[in-house]
Amino acid sequence: MCIKNMSLAKVLLSYCLVLVLVSCDESGTPGQIVPDESGTPGQIMPDEIVPPEIFTSFEITDPTPGSDNFFGGQVIILGNGNIIVSDHNDSSLASKNGAVHLFDPSEQTLLGSVYGDNDGDRLGFSSGLNPITVLANNNYIVSSRFDDIGGIVDTASVRLISGETGMQIGAALAGDNVDDGFGLSKVIALADGNYVLLVDRDDVGGITDAGSVRLMNGATGVQIGDVLFGDTTKDFRTSSSITALANNNYVVAAPKYDANGMSDVGSVRLMNGTTGVQIGSTLVGDNNVDQLGSGITALPNSNYVVASTNDAVNGLNAAGSARLMNGIDATQIGTSLEGESPNDNIGQRVTALANNNYVVSSSRAIVSGISLAGSIQLMDGVTGEQINAPLAGENADDQLALGGVIALANNHYVVISYEDNVVDQGMLINEVGSVRLMNGSTGAQIDLVLGDQQGDQLGFSGVTALTNNNYVIRSERDEVNGDSSAGSVRLISGTTGKQIGTELVGDDFNDRLGNIDISPLTNGNYVVPAPKDDVNGINNAGSVRLMNGATGVQIGSLLGKVSLDFITPGITALANSNYVVILPFDDANGTADTGSVRLMNGATNVQIGDTILGTANGAGAGLSGGDLSSAFSVSSDTGNFYILAAPSWDNIEVDSGLVRLIAQ
């Protein structure tokens, strides 16, 4: 491993964009930008409020550029304003040694870099996982799956890096055996800046993959307290988890844990987040394959819920259970909620509400003899007791809550049941689907929205909560005007549960409106991308629509011009309510699949500034390649700039990567 400090002061900033600042006069129309004596833009008149830092758009330059670097594979803006950029294919010291850089955007300088020093180290790469974890103190962890340490191939490493200097703090944490998997570990940040490291493949005392858990100091990189080790192979493997609580303690759950001569009974431990010492007794299952702790949910009051869907209760296999536990002393609060039939799988989902209550749902529950009716139960997060009688399906295979439960900020919650069946005039209509708004204090149903015909599967694609407490139902399989899978998007009041305005629907077969996530904006509006939308007779041209989150009325849209223009769209909501649209295969400049990036006003849908165009296209038909094929954007907390990262951009060399700060 090699550490470098480099300055960008003498580096020419290519691809430089001009920041245009537009103010408004008292009438709300754009005001004048007054030049200073040099003729360049000076003070903005008359009413513009200038943010603390004014950034000019510029390229964040790779200090060691090269072909296939993919500079910008991960980009993170820290709370202190510094910017992390990963470069896992960097080959400046060895073939694909990898690097992670830290930049200061206000000074446009490189603060520091950490490099791998062996062929194939690929520092900052962790095989599909996010290799960088930011701590509460702005330091960050770099996990590297393929790092070679001490001559051990792929032992992997975890490094603590300063968020002020970009320099490594202390020694790297690495395994002492091949494939110990430190670079694949789960890193959980605690509120005080420390972090917990779960290494599920760690070989301990000759036991393969026993696993280990460590509490680490996030300022010094020094281990706190003793290491928690597994006792048998795969004790901490696969579904093990670390859950941070609001009081800085943390919960270690190991559903595959073996104990008392039984396999996969599961274990749950509460740990002190300051000392790393276990609090109270270990909670363990009492039957083979109980898999206690298959889900842990933290509540705002620092209590936590232990869900165990495979828990055998009173001899009933996989009846399931959910226990409320005290986050201070690890004692159980109240009575466990338990299944009453085999395979009820109680605890399939647990959803925390802001008022400390929680919702336990199981789409597989048998209720009153009805198979797969599904049940939803609101629980008190202080006493652990049921607040009301559970909501249950009325027909076989209703599978209530199969689509999940969504918490709203106003303490209500939304239950999505896209398999719900409805009886109309004595006839059973299958898979109509339902979405219910529930009161988070009483558990009473406020209202519900139903599909209007068989197979609509209302809510199949998901429900998204908006910042104004309303929510949006996405149903890509909804049949509209005889067009199968035209799809629909509905705005629903988070207070009354009733639909607001007219739903947005596809107008052709297989438009599949709502088939991918919508993006809520901070002003309450929302963005609906629809890559399969047929536009002006063009099959799958695609669209991106801005919708009013209070009325459901469309504000504006971007429409594709050729087939597959808008395939795999990327939408990023910015802190100031604007949004970025990345269309990797847009034919915006007349060349197939070169791609485009647009900054859009989140109130008016008017484009801000010029379109950024790729310069190299892909393999055609939206399949692969192209400058923007892997591009993404990152918002700043203040909203006065965003980062565009395009690791596949042919910048200096093929796939060398481009990272650009774009001021608004």
10 has pLDDT over 90: no
> Do 403 and 526 sit in the same domain of this protein?
no
> Do 483 and 571 sit in the same domain of this protein?
no
Q: What does the pLDDT look like over 469-509, one tens digit per residue?
A: 999 999 999 888 888 898 999 999 999 999 999 999 988 88
The CA-CA-CA angle for residues 487, 491, 495, to 5°, reads: 145
The pLDDT assigned to 46 comes to: 31
Q: What does the pLDDT look like over 347-371, one tens digit per residue?
A: 999 999 999 999 999 999 999 999 9
> Do 366 and 509 sit in the same domain of this protein?
yes
- Domain range for 614 is 522-629
Q: What does the pLDDT look like over 610-628, one tens digit per residue?
A: 999 988 765 444 445 589 9
Q: Which residues contact 243 (CB under 8 A, 6 or more apart)?
A: 188, 250, 251, 253, 296, 297, 298, 304
Dihedral over alpha carbons 530, 536, 537, 542 (to 10 degrees): -20
Q: Which amino acid is at 458?
A: L
Share of the chain above pLDDT 90, in %: 68
For residue 508, the domain's CATH number is: 2.130.10.130
* CA atoms within 13 Å, Cβ hemisphere of 453: 10
Q: Is 272 a member of any domain?
A: no
User: Into how many domains does the chain fold?
Assistant: 2
The pLDDT assigned to 434 comes to: 96
Q: Which residue has the higher pLDDT, 525 or 534?
A: 525
> Do 356 and 476 sit in the same domain of this protein?
yes
In contact, 233 and 208? CB cutoff 8 Å = yes
Q: Is 569 a member of any domain?
A: yes
Q: Is 577 a member of any domain?
A: yes
Query: Average pLDDT of 192-201?
Result: 89
The pLDDT assigned to 183 comes to: 54
The pLDDT assigned to 484 comes to: 87
> Do 546 and 613 sit in the same domain of this protein?
yes
> Do 402 and 484 sit in the same domain of this protein?
yes
- Residues 357, 408: Cα–Cα separation, whole Å: 12
> Do 569 and 508 sit in the same domain of this protein?
no
Cα 397 from chain centroid (whole Å)? 31
Q: What does the pLDDT look like over 15-30, one tens digit per residue?
A: 333 332 223 333 332 2
> Do 420 and 564 sit in the same domain of this protein?
no
Q: Is 556 a member of any domain?
A: yes
> Do 454 and 536 sit in the same domain of this protein?
no
344 has pLDDT over 90: yes
Q: What does the pLDDT look like over 295-311, one tens digit per residue?
A: 999 999 999 999 999 99
Q: Is 293 a member of any domain?
A: no
Q: Is 442 a member of any domain?
A: yes
Q: Is 539 a member of any domain?
A: yes
510-542 exposure pattern, b = at least 16 Cβ within 10 A, e = fewer: bbbbbbbebbbbbbbbbbbbbbbbbbeebebbb
Calculate the average pLDDT of the chain. 87
Q: Which amino acid is at 448?
A: L
Q: What does the pLDDT look like over 96-125, one tens digit per residue?
A: 999 999 999 999 999 999 998 889 888 887
> Do 500 and 529 sit in the same domain of this protein?
no
By the 10 Å C-beta count (0-12 exposed, 13-18 middle, 19+ buried), 183 is classed as buried
When pLDDT is cut at 50, 70 and 90, the band that residue 34 belongs to is very low
pTM (predicted TM-score) = 0.88
Query: Average pLDDT of 209-224?
Result: 91
Q: Is 27 a member of any domain?
A: no
> Do 539 and 506 sit in the same domain of this protein?
no
Query: DSSP assignment, residue 586?
Result: -
512 has pLDDT over 50: yes
> Do 362 and 503 sit in the same domain of this protein?
yes
Three-state SS for 182?
A: helix
Q: Which residues contact 128 (CB under 8 A, 6 or more apart)?
A: none
